[in-house]
Chain A
Amino acid sequence: MQTKDLVIIGGGPAGMAAAVSAYGKGIRDLLIIERDESLGGILQQCIHNGFGLHMFKEELTGPEYAWRYEKMILDLGIPFKLNSMVVDISKDKVITYVNEEEGEVKIKAKAIILAMGCRERSRGALNIPGTRPAGIYTAGTAQKFINMMGLMVGRQVVILGSGDIGLIMARRMTLEGASVKAVCEIMPYSSGLARNIVQCLDDFNIPLKLGHTVTKIHGKDRLEGVTISKVDENRRPIPGTEEYTECDTLLLSVGLIPENELTKGMGIELDGSTRGAVVDQNRETSLEGVFSCGNVLHVHDLVDYVSEEAYIAGEAAARYIKGERVKNNNISVTASDNVSYVVPQRITSDKEKVKIYFRTKNELDNVQIIVSDCENVVYKAKRRKTKPGEMEYVTMAEDVLNNIKGNEISLKVIGE
């Protein structure tokens, strides 16, 4: 059987940055396995700009951001396999992939970085009543049809969900000549970036219907219209508020799910909130030598943060391979009041400062972030505002980590 020091599953932004980072730390016997026909992952269909402001201090489109890393991979000569699908990874790190040329191949790796990204929630996850006509797409599928394949998906559009992909697609469909009748959002706020509400909806006078959802699908062969209803504070449709809107296309932008089938297959511990692996500050999972980063670990708002996280995983995998990884601690980090999740969920070394990423459950003003161990508050920070759609972090310095009592810390948020 072939062997490799490091195999990276997925050649999107996380996989590419992890490979570059591991290479930078001296790993030469490595391989990226990508199922698509090019590197870059979902960035290749995100043709809009807004990527790279943190990482490269300029505003790039998705393909331009992908190319920055693709070029590094090519210049460094990091090997990658395209059109190759990993179908299984065993607990002893034997990776099975398939492709048209080689058939089924097994590789034994010393370390693995999981960078498979995420997929979209679909109509099936929402249980919208009605018929099952053509014309209902997830926003990302429509994006691929339009931007990569040059196929227009419809002319009269309703979008359900105001996440960034939904907002971006409202503008994209409008630029291509479609009429976007409304963007419906079941929550009282949009989870998308404020800048996207301005430049994707307001610029084109597209109404954003907060506190509304689609309650019925109409049409036999092709979608003919949807019923839109107001919802109450418990997100239940209010009878009598139904309005019929004619449309031939419904785009769903209703959340992303980390793609962790391979991770589950290895028996790795998952976090019910992030739906990704439970990891330590190195992004190492419960299975030694297996790391996870990017949207397969938790869904990020910005690709820049994906790259940043992948650097952590890449460097840590390199240290693990060289036998330099230190574990001298085992503190669990838990999400408490108003916090929906934290990453990492464990801290296994007090030798280096650790950034703890988290999301709040609600929009809050004048926010206090409080980290406590079993006895005391060990860290405090303030923010003017937090939103569920915008990831936050706190940095715990070495001296803070050294002074933690017990083996658990919790992070809570107080705000107005």
Chain B
Amino acid sequence: MELVCIVCPVSCNLEVVMEDGKIKEIKGAGCKRGVKYAEEETICPKRTLTTTIRTTDNRMVPVRSDKPLPKDRVFEVMEKINKVKCVPPVRIGDIILEKVYEDVNIIATRNIG
């Protein structure tokens, strides 16, 4: 299986060699994180989600998941996020929504005074 690594902007071309349904070898990764990405992408693809949450006074707080989410859960988490509003002030790193999926939290990425 051929993949493009999305861990960093270098975008290495990866090749995952499978044998009997298991990973035998990962080629092309420029760093260890690429190897980990290729493993995960083969077993359970994950993505960091970035979006916004509205404050009660109608401003936008940029947020992200503090860990990558399984790719097929992204829209489900978006729905949860879109149902809530948060109360300012918000500090960068504050947990806005706890455990939106397993142990993944949604955290603020900007101070909104």
Task: Determine if A64 and B92 form an interchain contact, defined as CB atoms under 8 angstroms apart.
Answer: yes
Task: Determine if A195 and B4 form an interchain contact, defined as CB atoms under 8 angstroms apart.
Answer: yes
Closest residue of chain A to B51 (Cβ to Cβ) is: A175
Task: Determine if B60 and A148 form an interchain contact, defined as CB atoms under 8 angstroms apart.
Answer: yes
The interface residues of chain B lying within 8 Å CB-to-CB of A287 are none
The interface residues of chain A lying within 8 Å CB-to-CB of B52 are 47, 146-147, 150
- Assess whether B56 is interfacial by the CB under 8 Å rule: no
- Interface 1/0s, chain B 75-99, versus A by CB < 8 A? 1001000000000000010000000
Contact of A194 among B11, B49, B50, B63 (CB under 8 A): B11
Task: Determine if A61 and B6 form an interchain contact, defined as CB atoms under 8 angstroms apart.
Answer: no
- Assess whether A44 is interfacial by the CB under 8 Å rule: yes
A-B contact count (CB 8 A): 73
Task: Determine if A150 and B58 form an interchain contact, defined as CB atoms under 8 angstroms apart.
Answer: yes
Stretch among A16-24, A48-56, A272-280, A365-373 lining the B interface: A48-56
Q: Which parts of B36-94 form the interface with A (CB within 8 Å)?
A: 47-52, 54, 58-60, 62-64, 71, 74-75, 78, 92
The interface residues of chain B lying within 8 Å CB-to-CB of A194 are 4, 11, 13
Q: How far is it, in angstroms, between the C-alpha of A263 and the C-alpha of B92 when the chains are bound?
A: 36
The interface residues of chain A lying within 8 Å CB-to-CB of B5 are 195
Q: How far is it, in angstroms, between the C-alpha of A53 and the C-alpha of B49 when the chains are bound?
A: 18
- Assess whether B22 is interfacial by the CB under 8 Å rule: no
> Number of A interface residues, CB 8 Å?
28
Shortest beta-carbon distance from A237 to chain B in Å: 30
Closest residue of chain A to B48 (Cβ to Cβ) is: A49
Contact of A49 among B3, B50, B74 (CB under 8 A): B50
Q: How far is it, in angstroms, between the C-alpha of A50 and the C-alpha of B58 when the chains are bound?
A: 27
Q: Which parts of A180-222 form the interface with B (CB within 8 Å)?
A: 193-195, 197-199, 203
Contact flag A61-B64 (CB < 8 Å), given A150-B58, A198-B4: yes
The interface residues of chain A lying within 8 Å CB-to-CB of B62 are 47, 61-63, 147
Shortest beta-carbon distance from A308 to chain B in Å: 14
Contact of A198 among B6, B9, B74 (CB under 8 A): B6
Closest residue of chain A to B77 (Cβ to Cβ) is: A175
Closest residue of chain B to A53 (Cβ to Cβ) is: B8
Contact of A302 among B9, B51, B60, B64 (CB under 8 A): B9
Task: Determine if B111 and A67 form an interchain contact, defined as CB atoms under 8 angstroms apart.
Answer: yes
- Interface 1/0s, chain B 1-25, versus A by CB < 8 A? 0011111110101000000000000
Task: Determine if A150 and B4 form an interchain contact, defined as CB atoms under 8 angstroms apart.
Answer: no
The interface residues of chain B lying within 8 Å CB-to-CB of A44 are 110
Contact of B9 among A47, A48, A53 (CB under 8 A): A53
Among B50, B64, B74, max chain A CB count under 10 A is at B50
Task: Determine if A63 and B54 form an interchain contact, defined as CB atoms under 8 angstroms apart.
Answer: no
The interface residues of chain B lying within 8 Å CB-to-CB of A199 are 6, 47
Task: Determine if A175 and B74 form an interchain contact, defined as CB atoms under 8 angstroms apart.
Answer: yes
Contact flag A47-B51 (CB < 8 Å), given A175-B78, A194-B11, A195-B9: yes
- Assess whether A392 is interfacial by the CB under 8 Å rule: no
Task: Determine if B9 and A193 form an interchain contact, defined as CB atoms under 8 angstroms apart.
Answer: yes
Shortest beta-carbon distance from B34 to chain A in Å: 11
- Assess whether A59 is interfacial by the CB under 8 Å rule: yes
Q: How far is it, in angstroms, between the C-alpha of A287 and the C-alpha of B81 when the chains are bound?
A: 51
User: Which residues of A are interface residues toward B (Cβ below 8 A)?
Assistant: 44, 47-50, 53, 59, 61-64, 67, 146-150, 175-176, 193-195, 197-199, 203, 301-302
Which 9 residue pairs of A and B lie closest in terms of their CB atoms, listed nearest first?
A194-B11, A63-B110, A47-B62, A195-B6, A195-B11, A61-B109, A194-B4, A150-B60, A63-B109
Q: A47-B50, A53-B8, A195-B7 are in contact. List 9 more A-B contacts (CB 8 A).
A: A47-B51, A47-B109, A48-B50, A50-B9, A61-B50, A63-B110, A148-B60, A195-B6, A198-B4
18 contacts between A and B (CB under 8 A): A44-B110, A47-B64, A49-B48, A50-B9, A59-B8, A59-B48, A62-B62, A63-B62, A63-B92, A63-B109, A67-B111, A147-B52, A149-B60, A150-B52, A175-B74, A195-B5, A198-B6, A199-B6
